[in-house]
């Protein structure tokens, strides 16, 4: 089933997906919040997850999906999940780093060499370590979903070299590594909730932003941006997390079903993103966006990678970074 079919079946305002073959009424339901619009791959992944959980529990556990920021912006949804007013959430990793700074590892510029490298790390020992670190913040991680590799857009000029960013006001996430990287490049990093980005670009409050291709297209940012550079300067994962107290109250069977479903939905979303990136680039180019396909990636890497890594190592040591680097071999 493709994304469009899932989107049609997924009610983004809190309705549980109706499942064929459900054996009994749900014994337990969980409210699951996310940021994505109906056309975003996270909506399809959420629908897949809800469907799989229902299948694996015979309908005894129901996932109520609230998308498109229906329960608040990303920081609000994450805090709600920590406090227990929301049962579970997925949102970009940068929003986790204020309360869980060790997760800043995953947002270091040029940390991952490819999709395969990122998936190997996230689905392996490093991912398990980071998931295990969330307990102190009141969360239980169950899978790493994704936004993908981030790329630059702006309305001022083409960006091929690091110097082309000088003076541009760029919306970034609040992640310290992202902010430091753009400061190092001579830009003016401007963190703000994603829900505010379109209007800020439209009014000229900011010059540009950086996000994965499919996320840019799904949220129509190409309508208010002229230039894109495929810098792939950082990879953004979207941890899927549950309130820790709520999680501990679920049966082992429900927990196992949710973990399995979350991993399967992650794979589904990754494949979907690969397919849709190509479509999105073609569509944005056809709409008039100028796309720089070969920016000077080596120059961007040399400008920011060492600086941001040193800042992380100074706080957390080099063990996790060393494991990430070893996974690229």
- pLDDT value at residue 328: 94
Q: Considering Cα of 137, then 140, then 145, then 149, what sign does the dihedral take?
A: positive
Clarify whether residues 15 and 163 are in a common domain. no
Domain annotation covers residue 108:
no
First to last CA, the chain: 34
Of the chain, the percentage scoring pLDDT greater than 70 comes to 92
Q: How many other C-beta atoms lie within 10 A of the C-beta of residue 39?
A: 16
Please compute the mean of the pLDDT values over residues 176-187 and round it to a whole number. Answer: 95
Clarify whether residues 244 and 195 are in a common domain. no
- pLDDT value at residue 24: 54
> pLDDT tens digits for 14-27?
444 433 334 456 89
CA atoms within 13 A on the CB side of 122: 29
Distance from C-alpha of 109 to C-alpha of 83, rounded to nearest angstrom: 31
Domain annotation covers residue 106:
no
Clarify whether residues 87 and 203 are in a common domain. no
> pLDDT tens digits for 256-283?
999 999 999 999 999 999 999 999 999 9
> pLDDT tens digits for 93-109?
999 998 999 999 999 99
Clarify whether residues 287 and 181 are in a common domain. yes
- pLDDT value at residue 50: 98
- pLDDT value at residue 8: 40
């049609």: which residue's tokens? 8
Clarify whether residues 285 and 158 are in a common domain. yes
- pLDDT value at residue 7: 45
Domain annotation covers residue 274:
no
- Give the domain extent around 38: 3-100+113-146+237-267
Give the lowest-confidence range in 7-11, 161-165, 215-219, 250-254.
Answer: 7-11
Plot region of 114 (φ>0 → left; ψ -120 to 50 → alpha; else → beta): beta
Of the chain, the percentage scoring pLDDT greater than 90 comes to 85
Confidence band of 322 (pLDDT split at 50, 70, 90): very high
- pLDDT value at residue 19: 39
The CATH number of the domain holding residue 323 is 3.40.190.170
> pLDDT tens digits for 131-153?
999 999 999 999 999 999 999 99
Domain count, the chain: 2
Domain annotation covers residue 275:
no
Confidence band of 217 (pLDDT split at 50, 70, 90): very high
Clarify whether residues 40 and 129 are in a common domain. yes
Give the lowest-confidence range in 2-6, 157-161, 287-291.
Answer: 2-6
Q: Is 60's pLDDT higher than 90?
A: yes
Please compute the mean of the pLDDT values over residues 209-226 and round it to a whole number. Answer: 94
Q: Is 13's pLDDT higher than 50?
A: no
Confidence band of 218 (pLDDT split at 50, 70, 90): confident
Clarify whether residues 40 and 181 are in a common domain. no
Domain annotation covers residue 105:
no
Distance from C-alpha of 87 to C-alpha of 78, rounded to nearest angstrom: 10
Clarify whether residues 229 and 254 are in a common domain. no
Domain annotation covers residue 48:
yes
Clarify whether residues 57 and 178 are in a common domain. no
Q: Residue 141: beta bridge partners?
A: 241
Domain annotation covers residue 195:
yes
Clarify whether residues 81 and 189 are in a common domain. no
Clarify whether residues 176 and 155 are in a common domain. yes
- pLDDT value at residue 16: 44
Clarify whether residues 217 and 126 are in a common domain. no
Domain annotation covers residue 210:
yes
């Amino acid at each position: 089933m493709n994304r469009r079919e899932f989107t049609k079946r997924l009610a983004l305002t809190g309705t549980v997906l109706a499942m064929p073959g459900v054996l009994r009424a749900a014994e337990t339901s969980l409210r699951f919040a996310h940021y994505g619009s109906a056309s975003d791959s996270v909506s399809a992944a959420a629908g897949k997850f809800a469907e799989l959980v229902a299948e694996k529990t015979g309908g005894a556990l129901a996932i109520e999906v609230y998308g498109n920021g229906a329960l608040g912006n990303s920081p609000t949804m994450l805090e709600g999940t920590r406090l227990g007013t929301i049962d579970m959430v997925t949102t970009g990793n940068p929003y986790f780093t204020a309360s869980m700074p060790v997760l800043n590892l995953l947002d270091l510029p040029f940390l991952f060499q490819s999709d395969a490298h990122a998936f190997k790390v996230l689905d392996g020992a490093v991912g398990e370590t980071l998931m295990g670190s969330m307990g102190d913040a009141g969360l239980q991680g169950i899978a790493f979903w994704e936004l993908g590799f981030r790329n630059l857009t702006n309305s001022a000029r083409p960006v091929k070299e690091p110097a082309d960013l000088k003076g541009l006001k760029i919306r970034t996430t609040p992640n310290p590594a992202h902010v430091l990287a753009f400061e190092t490049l001579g830009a003016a990093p401007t963190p703000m909730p994603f829900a505010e980005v379109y209007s800020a670009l439209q009014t000229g409050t900011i010059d540009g932003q950086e996000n994965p291709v499919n996320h840019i297209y799904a949220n129509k940012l190409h309508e208010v941006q002229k230039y894109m550079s495929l810098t792939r300067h950082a990879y953004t994962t979207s941890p899927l997390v549950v309130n820790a107290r709520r999680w501990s109250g679920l049966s082992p069977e429900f927990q196992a079903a949710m973990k399995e479903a979350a991993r399967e939905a992650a794979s589904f979303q990754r494949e979907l993103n690969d397919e849709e990136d190509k479509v999105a680039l073609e569509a944005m180019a056809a709409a008039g966006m100028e796309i720089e396909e070969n920016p000077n990636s080596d120059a961007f890497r040399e400008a920011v990678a060492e600086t941001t890594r040193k800042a992380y190592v100074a706080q957390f040591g080099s063990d996790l970074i060393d494991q990430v680097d070893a996974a690229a071999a």
